[in-house]
Amino acid sequence: MQPETLFITKTWGFGPERIPLTGFSTAEAQTNFERRSQRDPNTWIAILATNGSETAEEDRGRLLGAVRPSFQRIDADQVLKEAGIQLPDNEYENGIYKWPHSFPVIEAVRFVDAPHSNELFGGLLQGQEWARYAIPVLERFGREVAEKICSLPTVTAEVADFESLRRIRAQANALGGQRNGPTGPPPNEGGGGGKRTLGAGYAYALHLQGGLYGDAYKIGSTSDLDARLDTLNFELRPSVSGCQWKRVLHQQFESERYAYNFEQRLLSRLSERRVDGEKEIIRIALDELQNNWLETFKEGKWVDGLD
């Protein structure tokens, strides 16, 4: 969490292990949050428990946790019904979940000591504004308070795994620190590889320089981009053959399985472009490859596996 991307709202409690959503009662409030956060994927919302009877007595007025949302709009009422979740009657109005304008929670933390509002803000946060909207902490309380909240000790909180949200969550994790929102990231370009993340997988597109075809690309996946590129170029003997693979596109995923699934989905989409006798090498214009890459990512079927 960073002060510049920290918001706060009041709710009846904190339970991402039960409801992996952060919701608003109106579309206007949801739009307000999107506008003020600029849909920054590093945005966190701190959850302050209300002081009303709906909140467990031991939680009232305390900062319970924080969530990082995806910015893909969903109908929370529909998602909860599909998941077979039935909540207490006071969370519905005319049979509809009271906070239907929602975003999926990508990750969540609990504050270890759950400090009281009095300690952080010098009193309770009065008024409906705090429950209706997500408010920027830095703007409302200043840097000292925002930094204090960001420095509070936390533990990872469980986030319920709803099948209907898996694609959204996986796409958001793949987006990482990019600002492009849920429509899908532009493929990472260029030769700079970035640091390897243990446990992650990477899909890549390599351009063959010096070969028979100027539009030949190799599509693959790996757990280590730099090592894979070194191995492939060692096999080519660039100093003798004059050929060399150069990375032009890559995308990090949270697992090698997702990276492999993405690679296979992309190759299937481009099967008619394969070079004869090759499983992973295609002939295609770079802009067309980029478009197919992006469409494969947005489609999200790589989360589900392979047909």
pLDDT per position as a tens digit, 185-194 = 445 555 444 4
Structure tokens at 100: 């239907």
Q: Specify the CATH number for 186-303; select among 1.10.10, 3.40.1440, 1.10.287, 3.30.530.
A: 3.40.1440
Closest CA relative to residue 190, chosen from 171, 211, 204, 175: 204
End-to-end CA distance of the chain: 39
Tell me which fold the domain 3-175 belongs to.
Answer: ph1033 like fold (3.10.590)
Number of Cβ within 10 Å of residue 36's Cβ equals 15
Q: What is the pLDDT of residues 41-99, one digit of tens each?
A: 889 999 999 988 899 999 999 999 999 998 989 999 999 998 888 889 999 999 999 99
Whether the predicted pLDDT of 181 surpasses 50 = no
The 10s digit of each residue's pLDDT in 117-154 is 999 988 878 878 888 899 999 999 999 999 999 999 99
Residue 183: pLDDT above 70? no
Q: Residue ranges of the domains in the chain?
A: 3-175, 186-303
Of residues 144, 123, 151, 157, the one with CA closest to residue 13: 157
Place 179 in a pLDDT band, splitting at 50, 70 and 90.
very low
Query: By three-state DSSP, how is residue 188 classified?
Result: strand
SS3 111: strand
